[in-house]
Structure 1
Amino acid sequence: MDNGSEPGTPAGRGEPDIVGRSKRLWLLPDGRCLVQIIPSLRSFTYHRDEIVERTGPLRLDFYERAAARLADAGVPCAFRERVSADSYVADYCPAPPFEVIVKNRATGSTTRKYPGLFEDGAPLPRPVVKFDYRTDPEDQPIGEDYLRALDLPVEEMRELSLAVNDVLRSWLRPLEVWDFCLIFGRTSDGGLTVISEISQDCMRLRHQDGSPLDKDLFRDGVAGEEIVNQWSRVLDVIT
């Protein structure tokens, strides 16, 4: 696997204000932030956590295009502009400890946590939306009533997640979106906006021939160079 150091600090910047699992973030004075992608790939289930350098720019290639599609569809998104191969400017909204997962096929946690309910890889009759509590070392499913108890707009998050699903499935066809995760932030006026990256690192995406074009390659032990090659295939298909 391709191991290396984290990306260097952007020119003129000191230590980041926030460091997450796969991002470094600098707060800007105008209510926005500079975000730098850390080219990390990690899987709790498969006990792997590595740096694959060239995946960072590929993730941002995908995210930049996805953000444009969401904006065209009227879905609020924090992304504003790309400023380097691995960095972009976004509206700053604090990240809550919850994420939303949309599943179009029974895969991953669905078949691992609920064995016997669905055949692995089976299409679901309609998209399934679920919520996870983001915590190390592994995110955990959380009941929606806990979110309601925290006064979170569960139904609005569900509706926006399904809208993102419609945009991604239409845009990426003939590639197939099996599942993806989103994080929503709250804007200054109280509205919801997508603040999470949308890329192969946070979705399951399949080629027409059924081969994975996402982080499942890493989960399956594929070498870094081949992950880069397969993720690059996506950019040859989408616009």
Structure 2
Amino acid sequence: MSDAELLAVRDAGTPDIEGRSKRIWLLSGGLCVVEMIPSLRSFTYSRDELVEETGPLRLEFYDRAAARLAKGGVRTGFVRRLAPTVYLSEFHEAPPFEVVVKNRAVGSTLVKYPGLFPANSELPKPVVKFDYRIDPEDQPIGEDYLRALDLPVEEFRRIALAVNDTLISWLAPLEVWDFCIILGLDPQGEPVLISEVSPDCMRLRHPDGSSLDKDLFRHGASSEELVTAWQRLLDEIG
């Protein structure tokens, strides 16, 4: 189907799936049309807003990231961009958990395990953890629960670390502090990175110490300040 035909699917009816950040229209052949919802949410800081300008910035970053990840041997569901906030993707069922990689002691590491590491300190090696996705706040889940569901935990871990290596190499000298991804399984049982990769789901720091991610929103920055920082991020990575 042409881009115009795919966008017509989006315009013709209600989405088959709608969450906090995306609307999805299912297609034949294991594909789907995805529209980003420009939502920003922080449970910890009780903040929930729509910022229209963030949608195109997220998708622009994801478009570039998907190309880099493909070169690094990581399979993503991303196919191509159709409009500023709309893209074509493979469709695979999303599991009720996400995979988190942490290079520094930030966020949930400090909240869940106070005193274990100094705040913002670099971890001796990247930490991979799994969080059960549930409202109002995701919760850590033991890996054996995932193994009990016959999920390829070690392969998920390998892919998460490969994503980490690719992002660190691509984004340097910006620092990747942490990120979260969602891995689905194709009909053959092979893992596919099905979530977006963008400043909405990671922590990035400029060499000057400034934040280039959703931490700005978490800590009270205005919509204008957030959009300016995310545009700066895209300008920095070229």
Matches within 5 A, 1:1-239: 12-239=11-238
Q: Which runs of 4+ in 1 moved over 3 A?
A: 9-12
**What SS class does the counterpart of residue 83 from structure 1 fall into?**
strand
**What SS class does the counterpart of residue 26 from structure 1 fall into?**
strand
* TM-fit CA distance, 1:13: 2.6
Distance in 2 (CA, whole Å) between partners of 1:171 and 1:222 is 27
Distance in 2 (CA, whole Å) between partners of 1:147 and 1:43 is 26
Distance 1:52-1:11 versus aligned 2 partners, 3 A rule: same
**What SS class does the counterpart of residue 103 from structure 1 fall into?**
strand
Give the length in aligned residue pairs. Answer: 232
Distance in 2 (CA, whole Å) between partners of 1:34 and 1:16 is 9
* TM-fit CA distance, 1:21: 1.5
Partner of 2:5: none
Unaligned runs of 5+ in 2: 1-7
For 1:108-133, what per-residue CA distance to the aligned partner results, in whole angstroms no more than 9, with x for missing partners?
A: 00011100011110000100000000
Distance in 1 (CA, whole Å) between partners of 2:160 and 2:211 is 22
Distance in 1 (CA, whole Å) between partners of 2:138 and 2:11 is 35
Distance 1:218-1:142 versus aligned 2 partners, 3 A rule: same
**What SS class does the counterpart of residue 171 from structure 1 fall into?**
helix
Distance in 2 (CA, whole Å) between partners of 1:123 and 1:219 is 21
Letter in 2 for 1:37: M
Q: Is the 8 A contact 2:9 2:25 kept in 1?
A: no
Letter in 1 for 2:181: L
Distance in 2 (CA, whole Å) between partners of 1:110 and 1:85 is 34
Unaligned runs of 5+ in 1: 1-8
TM-score by length of 1: 0.95
Q: Which structure has greater helix proportion? A: 2
RMSD value, Cα: 1.3
* TM-fit CA distance, 1:29: 1.6
* TM-fit CA distance, 1:11: 5.5
